[in-house]
Structure 1
Amino acid sequence: MQKKVVIVGAGNAGTVVSNELINRLGNQVEITVIEPSEYHVYQPGIVDVVLGYESPESIMRKVESLIDRRANIVKDRAVKVIPEKRTVVTSNGKEITYDYLVLSPGVKNKAGALPSWHTLDEALKLREMVTNFTGKKIVVGYSGVIKCPAAPFEFAFLLKQKFPDTKVTLINPVAQPPELQRPMANKLGERSKELGIEVLRGVKISSVDPSNKTIVTDEGKKVEYDLALIDSPIQVGEEFANLVDSSGFIPVDKKNLKVKGFDDVYAIGDVTNIFLPPKTGAIAHYEAIYVAESIFSDIMGYEKPEFDGSAMCAIYGGYRNGYFVYMNYEKSSALGPSTLFYSAKKSFTSLYWLSLKGGINPILHAASKYFSGGPQLIKSR
């Protein structure tokens, strides 16, 4: 009898889970993916679009072109999850039942005075701001929990490269990074000094006034700008309000990624209450591979693995230099700067689409094993 797997969200994580399960189990599973958007956007590529290094078309593909045709794609929005009834309700009133549920809907940014940098529409607005910039003061910053703590540094580095005569200031609300993030933080801090970027650590943004081009900190200090890129905090959609805890995110057991209290519901990506390693597409991808393996093992009666928190990515360092960062729950490392890591970051704009279909999984497994010093995250069967 076919097992029903419902996946909410066809971003990075949801697409990977769908394709992995179909590749492994074929017709033994009935996969339903609920996704309202027509296009899938490679979010790390937004940095390149904003700076004018990539076209919008290069970082987007139709959802249906990325998911195995054997999956059912429901072009609708999930508005309610009723785990006690194993049911997901869509905005059109459709009730979809499941044996396994994977929540990977992503998150949304809280409304801010300036565009954030996580949707294509926002990217195009920022691109126009950057293209028309003629001033001398650039401020990059963020507040609260964001998707990728390296992204503000990438923007600062690349904007300094594009406008070398400007003063670039980075407002970082974190005074002291967690120990797990310290290798990355040290590398990015060193690079900031090399490029002459002022980093205001431990400074929280209280308000942004676009009309007067002024940012006010929580201590009352005013930071003036001619161009500002400020990312606002992320939050889980209200349709999942019955699942979040006091953190504002969906609580999971970090070793098996199951939503606490439910053995048949997984949550992966930005919606979870996992904050270390920080929220990135990299950890979402590894979580997706793990969840597919876990569901596969459960259906086949195999011993289930545990997730070790693996995540790795390349980061732009400006001037054709880049960094490579690996983290799991226990350790982290950061390498660079190097032109090799810049090239790796650049090339992933193309490789990303292949990664969604499992095309580079052997590389990901080998890298995870090498950097963690332990067994492979997922063993191929």
Structure 2
Amino acid sequence: MKKKVVVVGGGNAGSIVANKLAKNADLEVTVIEPSEYHYYQPGTVDIVGGIGKEEEMIKNTSDLLHARWIKNYVTKVDVENHTVFLKSGDKIDYDYVVIAAGVRNIKLEGFPEWHTIEGAKLMKTMADNFEGKKIVVGYFGLIKCPAAPFELSFILKQRFPKAEITLINPVAQPPQIQKPMAEILGKIAKELGVQVIRGFKIKEIDRQNKIIESENGEKINYDLAFIDTPIRAGEEFSNLVDNSGLIPVNRETLRFKDYDNVFAIGDITNITTPPKTGAIAHFEANYVVKEIQNDLYGQGKGKFDGSAACAVYSGYGKGAFIYMNYEKSYALGPSSIFFIAKKTFAHIYWLTVEGKLI
């Protein structure tokens, strides 16, 4: 009898797991995903910067998933009884469940979300209408990719070379493993004339007077501001999350607590170092595919090493490349090679999601 795998979420990580496991004749794979469309999330920066088109960042979910797809919302994952409950009232039993549902950003009134196509389009409109002098880019809390605010700042500096661009960063000192990334991004910022203020934890934003105040009482004026917001798992996973609002996993096995058949991958896990990127979600997906098949055939467990990577636009046709795992990290660039690599990957991404590449 076939073992049942339920994948919750049909984004980057979920699609890779589903499509690769669907090739195994001993598995019955089902994906629960409510959206008809799949978005290439790193491409939102391209849209804001005017260097990418919306249609390049979207594909139909049906064209990418090669496993059984149920278009519905999950309301609960019952890990004790191996059951996934759906909004429709249906429930699905599983032998293995992979939770790859992504996260939700806390909404901040007056500021668009960074990681959606609609949010990116609104940010582009705001940038298109910018006629002032001061632009502030920042974030608070735990966000998806800490390199993203730098990348956006660099793109905006290229677009508005005469503007005063300030990046406010709540992290006073990055973790040791992230220092190569912090150093190269800081170097690029200095070369471009982007001011970086570390340890600036946002307390309040006065939208009427356009003032951002820190917890220490420091104030910054702006004419245009883009603020990324903290992430958390959806309410449907409230029975699984820890105090961070994310699902706790063993970082070497990506399993939830002591449940050998419950995996969580991508943004929804409580792993924060390496940071949350599409690449670590990809590598996590590949690891889980191998783990489920190893378990199926009694071949024992492996260990996930935390591999993550990202290419970052650094402005003016150049980019930087960052790699890290749990033990080491390095950063390269800026170079036109990494700009080309990042633009190219936006196209190959779709092949990776289908499980046809990497």
After TM superposition, the score normalised by the length of structure 1 is 0.92
Are 1:79 and 2:78 counterparts? Answer: no
Q: 2:332 aligns with which of 321, 332, 335?
A: 335
Query: Matched residue pairs, number?
Result: 357
Amino acid at match of 1:35: E
Q: Secondary structure at the match of 1:31?
A: strand
What's the secondary structure of 2:213's corresponding residue? strand
Instruction: Give the alignment partner of residue 154 of structure 2, picking from 148, 152, 157.
Output: 157
Amino acid at match of 1:40: H
Partners of 2:277 and 2:309 within 8 A in 1: no
Aligned-pair distance for 1:330?
0.5
CA displacement 1:302-356 (0-9 Å, x = unmatched): 2332110011121111111111111111100101111101110111110110111
Report which stretch shifted further, 188-197 or 293-302.
293-302
Inter-partner Cα distance in structure 2 for 1:134 and 1:176:
34
Identical amino acids, percent of aligned pairs: 55
**Counterpart check, 1:319 vs 2:299:** no
Contact in 1 for aligned 2:232/2:244 (Cα 8 Å) = no
Q: SS state of the match for residue 35, structure 2?
A: coil
**CA deviation string 1:85-111 (max 9, x = no partner):** 100111111101100000000000011
Mapped contact 1:78–1:88 kept (Cα < 8 A): yes
Pair 1:89-2:91 in alignment:
no
SS state of the match for residue 158, structure 1? helix
Query: Where in structure 2 are the equivalents of 1:1-381 lying within 5 Å?
Result: 1-23=1-23, 25=24, 27-68=25-66, 71-113=67-109, 114-361=111-358
SS of structure 1 residue aligned to 2:216: coil
Aligned partner letter, 1:288? A
**Hey, what's the Cα distance between the residues in 2 that align with 1:299 and 1:264?**
11
SS of the equivalent of 1:161 reads helix
Native 8 Å contact 1:116 1:229 kept in 2: no
CA distance in 1, matches of 2:45, 2:148: 8
Amino acid of the structure 1 residue aligned with 2:222: Y
Unaligned runs of 5+ in 2: none
1-side partners of 2:173 and 2:113: how far apart? 24
Paired with 1:359 and 1:264, the residues of 2 have a C-alpha distance of 25
- Give the match's secondary structure for 1:135: coil
| Structure 1 unpaired stretches of 5+ | 362-381
| C-alpha displacement of 1:222 | 2.0
For normalisation by structure 2, the TM-score amounts to: 0.98
Whether the aligned pair in 1 keeps the contact of 2:247 and 2:270 (CA below 8 Å) is: yes
